[in-house]
Amino acid sequence: MQREIFGEEHQLFREQFRRFVQAEVEPNVAAWNEAGIVPRAIWKRMGEEGYLGANLPEAWGGAGGDFLYDAIIMEELAYARAHCLQASLHTDICLPYLESYGTEAQKRKFLVPAIAGDCLVAIAMTEPSAGSDLAAVRTTAIRDGDLYVVNGAKTFISNGQNSHLVIVVAKTAPTKRHDGISLLLVEEGTPGFERGRNLEKIGLRGQDTSELFFRDCRVPAANLLGQEGQGFRMLMEKLQQERLCIAVGCMASIRRSLDDTLAYVKERQAFGKPIAAFQNTQFKLAELETEYEIGQAFTDKLLAAHVRGEEIVKEVSMGKWWTSDLQKRVAAECLQLFGGYGFMAEYPISQDYQDAAVQSIYAGSNEIMKVIIARRMGLG
């Protein structure tokens, strides 16, 4: 089915980026997964080709396009199973904080090289004892003259090993909850800032995920992003796009799982005929294909509304939980159709099954998504 939200320029961009992925990303995914990290050099190549700022202003080195260009990048990387190269985390989740709330000096110092691929950015929200409840963060940033002294620990931080810059969520007023939260830009090499181990995960193995530690880490006051006490508001303003990114990637991953499974069942023989000839196979895939089309139509509707600048917090919360649950179910059903081969690591469907597990957890758990939806419905 033709997706009407994309115009001719978008399609040309997709073809161009797909060639890049086929030439420089896909051949390396297995090695990157084995290493547990992608080389910084591929980020630099992404920047050189203009793929880290398609939706960012030309004044800072971006291409000035709409968010659909970034959605194309997410889809093509997800379809290639290049989950190790989470460009959306860098470009669509982290950089909007710099672009929206950074000073001109901060943009020159961090945003310009980030778009060029010279400065990889992570955002550190989650702590060992604080996940979806951001108001419960314990990391502190206490003002001391022209510095903030940061103390605390973060965990499950994507791009935690590769990042040159980390947006740290911390309490500048520890006795307050939401109004005590601020965002600080902590640079690689700052004394007192240490990276922990690259965490081993059951999925997304090539995407570096780390513990971060701050021990009397002295950060220049000029690295405060926005104003003190405004961090929670800034985080809430940007979560709509973050959760939409999850839905976009989920749907592309679902498409890949289905495509591979459709090809497999037409070739795999059982009882003297392809397993595609059995009614159970037909019914299962007919159901999953239908749900894919429904999910893609809703995600495209969200993309169009987001590009128009609409406030769709309730709807993206719906999209995030529904598409991520669907991805997990599709991966499981498709793996079952592969039989014993689906349980073998050499078959990519097994990777789909593992990689799908986290989608319902990060960017706000699906349980939190349902709380948001219920509140927007006037319930509680």
Q: Which of 214, 220, 217 is nearest to 106 (CA)?
A: 220
How many CA atoms within 13 Å lie on the side-chain side of 76? Answer: 24
Residues 98, 226: Cα–Cα separation, whole Å: 9
Residues 305, 166: Cα–Cα separation, whole Å: 30
Query: Which residues share a beta bridge with 183?
Result: 169, 225
Residues 153, 142: Cα–Cα separation, whole Å: 15
Q: Which of 127, 242, 311, 367 is catalytic?
A: 242
| Whether residue 26 lies in the annotated active site | no
Q: Residue holding tokens 């709330």?
A: 101
- The set of residues, in sequence order, having a beta carbon less than 8 Å from that of 266 and lying 6+ positions away, is 274, 276
Please, what is the end-to-end C-alpha distance for the chain in angstroms? 40
Count Cβ atoms below 10 Å from residue 237 Cβ, excluding itself.
16
Count Cβ atoms below 10 Å from residue 297 Cβ, excluding itself.
13
Residues 131, 135: Cα–Cα separation, whole Å: 9
Catalytic site residues? 242
